[in-house]
Amino acid sequence: MLSGYPPFYDNEPIGIYKKIVTGIIEFPTFFTPKDKHLIIKLLNPSINYRLGVQTVKFSSYISNFFLQNGAKIQKHKWFRGVDWNALYRRQIPAPWVPLLKNQGDSQWFEKYPDSAEPPKKLPREYLHLFHDF
């Protein structure tokens, strides 16, 4: 969200996969050291060291991982100065509110070409799930 594209961005899916596997993260030049540090900590490939994750052992053989309600994330220096209680109560105004012409105004969304592929047929056993669409 800081840059407008995901951290492992590439024009081709195989390029995305390669970047994820090799851990290559390309940061824009306008990223601050705090920006980079936060993203690197959130994308740490080792779940034991990933920001906001706590290891809880149920036995010597099984481990399970849980988020700590964001406690460590909220304490990261990137979020310094955020009033979390006001945010939770929705008392912080949005930094930018788009002007809309009507309820269906989509001018602020990027334009994407329609897919050239025909829609795929659902197997008969799943059709009942979409009877009212």
In tens, the pLDDT along 35-63 reads: 999 999 998 888 778 888 765 555 444 44
Residue 71 forms part of a structural domain:
yes
Q: Could you give the number of structural domains in the chain? A: 1
pLDDT category of residue 129 using cuts at 50, 70 and 90: confident
Range of the domain at 105: 32-110
Its pTM stands at: 0.61
Residues 133, 126: contact at Cβ < 8 Å? no
Residue 44 forms part of a structural domain:
yes
Bridge partners (DSSP) of residue 65 are 55
Residue 62 forms part of a structural domain:
yes
In tens, the pLDDT along 100-124 reads: 999 999 999 888 777 777 777 878 8
Q: Where are the beta strands (DSSP E) in 1-133?
A: 53-57, 63-67
